[in-house]
C-alpha cells in the first residue's frame, strides 16, 4: 500500500469511527481551554476535568485568577501534578493577558508561546480548538501512532508535526488530530496493543514498539 493510500485509509477509518470529535478537556472559552491544556501536561484529561471545576469556581477569567495567590492555585491543582510550575504559569500568563492583551487570550502562535508555561503544543490546541486556526498538535498518542503507521520516523514532535501536515489535508488537521488521539486510546494503546485486532494496523501494518525515544 502506497503512503497516500495508507493515509486515505487511515483518515476514512478515523472518520467512520469518530465522526464527532468533542474536545476532551472541559472548558467554556479560550481562557479556560488554555488553562486546562496547561494542566494536562503529564496528567490525564479525566483528572484535569475533575480539577478545573474547582479552580474555575474560584476564577474562570484572568482578572479573577490574579486575585488568587500562586499558593492558592497550587493547592487546588495539586492532583494534576507539577503544581509548583503550573501554578506559577497560570498566575503569570493571567497577569500578562490582563496587562498586555486587555484580558483576552491572544490569537497568534507567537503571542501564545510567549506566555509562561505555554509551548507549541499548548498553543496549537488553543489555536485550533478555540480560534479555528488550522493546526496539528502532537501529543504522545499521535507521536506513537505516526511511528507505528510509518508516517513519520522522527524522534521529535516538531518533525512529526511537519510530516503529518504534509501527508494530511490542511482542512482535516483540527479534526484528525483529535481522531488519532481517540483511536490511540481505544484501539492502539502503548501497552495492550494487538496489531491483528487493530482496525488500522491490521490493514496497513505497523512497526513494532511505540516510538523512538
pLDDT in tens, 129-150: 999 999 999 988 899 999 999 9
Yes or no: say if 187 and 26 are a contact pair by the CB < 8 Å rule. Answer: no
Q: What is the pLDDT of residue 209?
A: 64
CATH number of 30-129: 1.10.340.30
Give dist(CA 168, CA 178) in Å, integer: 13
CATH of 3-21+136-204, one of 1.10.1670.10, 1.10.10.1400, 1.10.260.40, 3.50.30.60: 1.10.1670.10
Give dist(CA 130, CA 116) in Å, integer: 19
- Phi/psi for 203 (5° steps) reads -105, -50
Ranges of CATH 1.10.340.30 domains, the chain? 30-129
Q: Which band of pLDDT confidence, cut at 50, 70 and 90, is reported for residue 200?
A: very high
Q: What is the pLDDT of residue 130?
A: 95
Whether this model's pTM surpasses 0.85: yes
Q: Which residues are catalytic?
A: 121, 139
Yes or no: say if 45 and 140 are a contact pair by the CB < 8 Å rule. Answer: no
Q: What is the pLDDT of residue 193?
A: 83
Burial group, residue 1, by CB count within 10 angstroms (0-12, 13-18, 19+): exposed
Mean pLDDT value of segment 11-35: 96
The 10s digit of each residue's pLDDT in 99-129 is: 999 999 999 999 999 999 999 999 999 999 9
Ranges of CATH 1.10.1670.10 domains, the chain? 3-21+136-204
Percent share of the chain, pLDDT over 90: 84
Burial group, residue 144, by CB count within 10 angstroms (0-12, 13-18, 19+): buried
Amino acid at each position: 500500500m502506497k503512503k497516500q493510500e495508507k493515509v486515505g485509509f487511515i483518515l476514512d477509518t478515523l472518520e467512520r469511527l469518530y465522526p464527532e470529535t468533542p474536545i476532551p478537556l472541559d472548558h467554556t472559552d479560550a481562557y479556560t481551554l488554555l488553562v486546562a491544556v496547561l494542566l494536562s501536561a503529564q496528567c490525564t484529561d479525566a483528572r484535569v476535568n475533575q480539577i478545573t471545576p474547582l479552580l474555575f469556581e474560584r476564577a474562570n477569567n484572568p482578572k479573577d485568577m490574579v486575585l488568587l495567590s500562586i499558593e492558592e492555585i497550587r493547592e487546588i491543582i495539586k492532583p494534576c501534578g507539577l503544581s509548583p510550575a503550573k501554578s506559577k504559569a497560570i498566575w503569570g500568563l493571567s497577569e500578562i493577558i490582563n496587562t498586555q492583551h486587555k484580558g483576552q487570550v491572544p490569537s497568534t502562535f507567537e503571542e501564545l508561546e510567549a506566555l509562561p508555561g505555554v509551548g507549541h503544543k499548548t498553543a496549537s490546541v488553543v489555536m485550533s480548538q478555540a480560534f479555528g486556526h488550522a493546526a496539528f498538535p502532537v501529543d504522545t498518542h499521535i507521536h506513537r501512532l505516526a511511528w507505528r503507521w510509518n508516517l513519520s520516523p522522527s524522534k521529535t514532535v516538531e518533525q512529526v508535526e511537519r510530516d503529518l501536515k504534509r501527508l494530511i489535508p490542511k482542512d482535516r488537521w483540527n479534526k484528525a488530530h483529535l481522531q488519532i488521539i481517540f483511536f490511540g486510546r481505544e484501539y492502539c494503546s502503548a501497552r495492550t496493543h494487538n496489531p491483528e485486532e487493530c482496525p488500522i494496523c491490521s490493514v496497513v501494518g505497523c512497526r513494532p514498539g511505540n516510538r523512538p525515544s
